[in-house]
Structure 1
């Protein structure tokens, strides 16, 4: 395949996949494609960052909505305080398995791709941390 930018004939392994094109490959080779993307990012970095921030925030909002928009333990509804909890614990190990230990939008994207599976709940940060520090039981639950 010939790169449209550098005009070199290269093996198809040197082109990224792209569903838009008939042959399923980008028109630029990987090297040229990376160069074009790097220049575009530098030129539009503020817009890219804003778009990325909005996308990550929407993933988080969707996950919170799927598991209930309030803490399952104390009822806190302030979105800034809410997080997704692994009901049976093991969140650190699970995040390592799905994204190399990265949390945040990687975890929320996984939840979305898995269609928000059972085994998770919304907790506020206090209840989530209390549960972590107290052998998988929120201190609020011990009072009851």
Structure 2
């Protein structure tokens, strides 16, 4: 067996290491179950086990909230408020593309926007706006629909 290959403990196929998720605590740095089997197992658990589904959704929600908090803090220099009016309720704050084109950009990256911002080192061209200020900006700039 080549170093770049591994046998999935679930489906028993010999696959390249790129077909396994990373896991630093293992000897080879990868999980023992391939990505495909892990995805199938996760889907089955979500459908068949309501407690697992609730716990998963709760973990996901906490991660999303924390991610949003980190991004908002970065783009507001720690103020955690709208850059136009100062509104500070996190439920109504969002990241705005300063030069427009946000809808198209989010379609292109096809991922969680807050995660993308973090993974790309908080690039310039974004600001924190409350939903009211964002609505006004969209109206003034005629940014109503995403061209699909």
TM-score by length of 2: 0.72
Question: Which stretch of the first structure deviates more once superposed, 63-72 or 23-32?
Answer: 23-32
The CA distance in 1 between the partners of 2:35 and 2:96, in whole Å, is 39
Say if 2:8 and 2:34, in contact at 8 Å, map to a contact too. Answer: yes
**2:120 equivalent among 96, 101, 114:** 114
Going from structure 1 to structure 2, the CA distance change for 1:11 and 1:118 (only over 3 Å counts) comes to: same
The CA distance in 1 between the partners of 2:36 and 2:102, in whole Å, is 38
Residue 22 of structure 1 deviates from its aligned partner by 3.1
Say if 2:81 and 2:89, in contact at 8 Å, map to a contact too. Answer: yes
Q: How many residues align?
A: 130
Where in structure 2 are there 5+ consecutive unaligned residues? 1-5, 143-148
The CA distance in 1 between the partners of 2:101 and 2:39, in whole Å, is 37
Instruction: Name the Cα RMSD after superposition.
Output: 2.7
Say if 2:8 and 2:33, in contact at 8 Å, map to a contact too. Answer: yes
State the 4+ residue runs in structure 1 displaced beyond 6 angstroms: none
1:133 to 2:144 alignment: no
Higher-strand-fraction structure: 2
Q: Equivalent residue for 2:90?
A: 79
The CA distance in 2 between the partners of 1:90 and 1:31, in whole Å, is 34
Where in structure 1 are there 5+ consecutive unaligned residues? 137-144
Q: Equivalent residue for 1:16?
A: 20
Which structure has the higher relative contact order (CA within 8 Å, separation 6+)? 1
The CA distance in 2 between the partners of 1:34 and 1:116, in whole Å, is 30
Larger Rg computed on CA atoms? 1
The CA distance in 2 between the partners of 1:57 and 1:129, in whole Å, is 22
